[in-house]
Amino acid sequence: MRIFVIAIAAALVGFPAAAIAEQMIKLRPGPGADKVEANCQACHSLSYIPMNSPFLNAAGWDATVTKMIKAFGAPIDDADAKAIADYLKKNYGI
């Protein structure tokens, strides 16, 4: 029982820190940033964008957006997908 209480206490202490870290992700301003925030953040953290930016060129971002839609089923229409890919390529591409 004591271990259970300690585990719960540790989880409660760590949870707010994780929530604060999540809120600190601020995308670079630009056309399409609102589409990225509205569509991408619905399924995963925006931290994936700057984390992957050192590795993805324009073709990589196009492939990533396509993968999110076709492989993972992200409900993003064609116009938003283009705006998202263009934003990512311009602001986070190598």
Residue 32 — left, alpha, or beta (φ > 0 → left; ψ -120 to 50 → alpha)?
left
Which of the two residues, 89 and 3, has the higher pLDDT score? 89
The model carries a pTM of 0.74
CB 11 within 8 A of CB 63: no
Domains of the chain by start residue, with CATH: 26-92 (1.10.760.10)
How confident is the model at residue 15, as a pLDDT? 53
pLDDT digits (tens, 9 = 90+) for 80-91: 999 999 999 999
- Arithmetic mean of pLDDT, 4-30: 64
pLDDT digits (tens, 9 = 90+) for 27-73: 999 999 999 999 999 999 999 999 999 999 999 999 999 999 999 99
How confident is the model at residue 20, as a pLDDT? 47
